[in-house]
Structures are given as C-alpha cells and as structure tokens.
Structure 1
Amino acid sequence: MNVHAKISGKVQGVGFRFSAKQKADEIGITGWIRNNPDGTVELEAQGENKQLDQFLKDLSKGLNPAIKVQEVDQSKFESSTNFNSFKIS
C-alpha cells in the first residue's frame, strides 16, 4: 500500500524531512519526501496499512517541538512501484 501526503504548517527549515526519514526507517516505511516551493512538504510512503497509519499519525504530531503541522492531506493507493529505502529529495 502507498500513501501520498502533502503536509502544511511550519514544516520547512525545522528538520521535518530528517525527522520523517528517521521515523520511516524506524517503522520500516520506504518512499520519498521533499520540500515544495509553496512551503509544504510532500511525500510518498510505502508499507503495510498499519505502518502507514502509524507513520502519518506520528508526522501529524510534529516529531519535534519546532515543527507545527497544520494539515495532512493524504490519499492511499496501490502501486507497482517498489521503493528500497526512504529518501529525502
């Protein structure tokens, strides 16, 4: 299962992508994460449903005190793409 998410709030310049990668590696999630020019962060994550739910729940909490997540817009989908790791773009 895959999930595509766009996260808004204070999520750039505060270690969000690095923290998300650490959490993804801890849970066993693969995929990618990147900053967008509009100040949001976008990601695609791959894993089991339970893993993805936990990952998104943890991301929405902010992961560190400097991060302030306002909204997580997400959609799950099936994909034939297989990621080997979780990468920061």
Structure 2
Amino acid sequence: MGTWRRGVVVGRRRMKKKTVCSENRHVRSMERKLRQLQKIISGGGVAGEVVDADTLFQKIAIYIFLLESRVKLLQSVYALFGPHD
C-alpha cells in the first residue's frame, strides 16, 4: 500500500502509474494484434485505416466461412477427379 512519511502515504502514486502503464501497454498490444488481423484478412481495409473490433470480427467470421467453403470444394473435386485405386 505504501509507507507513511510525515503523515502522507508514499508509494501509492507509483503503484497507480504502473497500473496505468500496464493498461496502456495492454491496449497498445490489443490494437497491434487487431491491425495484424486486419492485414491478414482480405479486404481488411486500407493500409493504416483502423476499423472497429466488431466490424473486424465480422470480417474474420466471413473469411473463415469462405476458407471452409474452399476446403470443402477442393475435397469434392479431389473425390471426383483425384487418383482412384
């Protein structure tokens, strides 16, 4: 909590700054990760443009659905035209 010197608690202020720094670091980390996700997703937006998290997660869901659809299509094509024993 802090130590008492001349009737004033010393050390609390520093603890609060660490908490704020930690929160800021967490927010910056999350923003960086969202920007990386945005780059991965096709049509994720213009470079440097940051979209809100909800929109980005919707785009990610659509992207995953499209990837799954492509995999199913390729599996079907392989089943029809792939090597047969």
- TM-score, shorter chain, exceeding 0.5: no
TM-score if structure 1 supplies the norm length?
A: 0.27
* Structure richer in strand, relative to its length: 1
| Structure exhibiting the larger radius of gyration computed from Cα positions | 2
